Amino acid sequence: MQLTPPPVVADTTPVVITREAPAPTPAARTIAASIAAATPSDTKAGDGVLQLLPGDAPRSLSAAVNSVREAVRDLFGNLVEPGLPTNGGVDLSRYAGKWYELARLPVRFQDDRTVSTAEYSVRPDGKVGVLNTAYLGDRVDARITGTATPVDGSSNDRLRVRFGGLLRFIPVPKEGNYWVIKTADDYSMALVGTPDRKFLWLLARDEQAWGSQPADDMVARAKELGFDTDKLLVADWDTRQMRA
């Protein structure tokens, strides 16, 4: 895969995603049953750091179960999501490296108090290695690794991110679950979300960039696209927890 796509014009045309609902397969029912039967102890790693998602074992297990329930629910009817413009292309070699979470919408798999970093590395096969670390004050609350695969034809601005543990059972949409909505020209900031508007992250190379004009512009863009920015949790990297 070409890691540095040719110059592209930003894609400002909304795309409406419609997924036809296939009949539930025995495999899908087996996956749902496996997660539903799992116990919190299944989420523990040998060193005591969770390997599913940021958060404690019950919270991570609950997130996995709820995600499967939503996936199974979607099998029984058409799921139409509003269009979401993307960046028009992402240079993965420039996108790689460490990002600080400036703000995010609340997510069920992460404590509302924690702040996170994301570290991306381009692999020889064209995929992206993912390392997410959640902090709460002076301690690491959780850590997780995964892989991001660019969606065919997306110019790397839509990726399919998959983690291990119980989350390996959760279906990942073929159009991707990590949409790069906008990046700064110098890749100092990025706005990432999902077309259902349930997930939104504002990432930056500088952990103190919240309140700057570029950050304000990113939040304004998210609001224009239908994200509920009034619910954003804002990171305080001096204390390494979300602001009260």
Report the SS3 class of residue 154: coil
Instruction: Output the CA–CA distances (angstroms, integers) from residue 62 to 76, 148, 218, in the order listed.
Output: 22, 23, 31
The pLDDT tens digits of the residues spanning 179-229 come to: 999 999 999 999 999 999 999 999 999 999 999 999 999 999 999 999 999
Classify residue 31: in a domain, yes or no: yes
Alpha carbon distance 150, 40 (integer Å): 32
Question: Which of 64, 80, 96 is at the close of a domain?
Answer: 80
Instruction: Quickly state the pLDDT bin for 61 (edges 50, 70, 90).
Output: low
Alpha carbon distance 163, 43 (integer Å): 13
The pLDDT tens digits of the residues spanning 122-145 come to: 999 999 999 999 999 999 999 999
Classify residue 94: in a domain, yes or no: yes
Determine contact, residues 90/157, Cβ cutoff 8 Å.
yes
227's CB contacts (< 8 A; 6+ apart) are 105, 193, 197, 200
- What was the pLDDT predicted at 81? 55
Classify residue 73: in a domain, yes or no: yes
pLDDT over threshold 90, residue 118: yes
pLDDT over threshold 50, residue 152: yes
Report the SS3 class of residue 107: coil
pTM of the model: 0.72
Q: For residue 49, give its domain range.
A: 17-80
Based on the fold, state whether residues 117 and 173 are members of the same structural domain: yes
Structure tokens at 167: 């989350």
Based on the fold, state whether residues 126 and 161 are members of the same structural domain: yes
The pLDDT tens digits of the residues spanning 29-53 come to: 444 444 444 433 333 333 333 333 3
- What is the average pLDDT across 13-27? 43
Burial class (CB in 10 A: 0-12, 13-18, 19+), 78: exposed
Based on the fold, state whether residues 227 and 110 are members of the same structural domain: yes
Classify residue 228: in a domain, yes or no: yes
Alpha carbon distance 233, 34 (integer Å): 33
- What is the average pLDDT across 39-68? 42
- What was the pLDDT predicted at 128? 98
Q: Per-residue DSSP letters for 187-235?
A: SSEEEEE-TTSS-EEEEESSTT-TTSHHHHHHHHHHHHTT--GGG-EEE
- Better-predicted residue by pLDDT, 68 or 89: 89
Alpha carbon distance 235, 129 (integer Å): 24
Mean pLDDT of the chain: 77
Domains in the chain, number: 2
pLDDT over threshold 60, residue 65: no
- What was the pLDDT predicted at 125? 95
Question: Which of 80, 96, 120 is at the close of a domain?
Answer: 80
Pairing type for strands 178-183 and 158-163 reads antiparallel
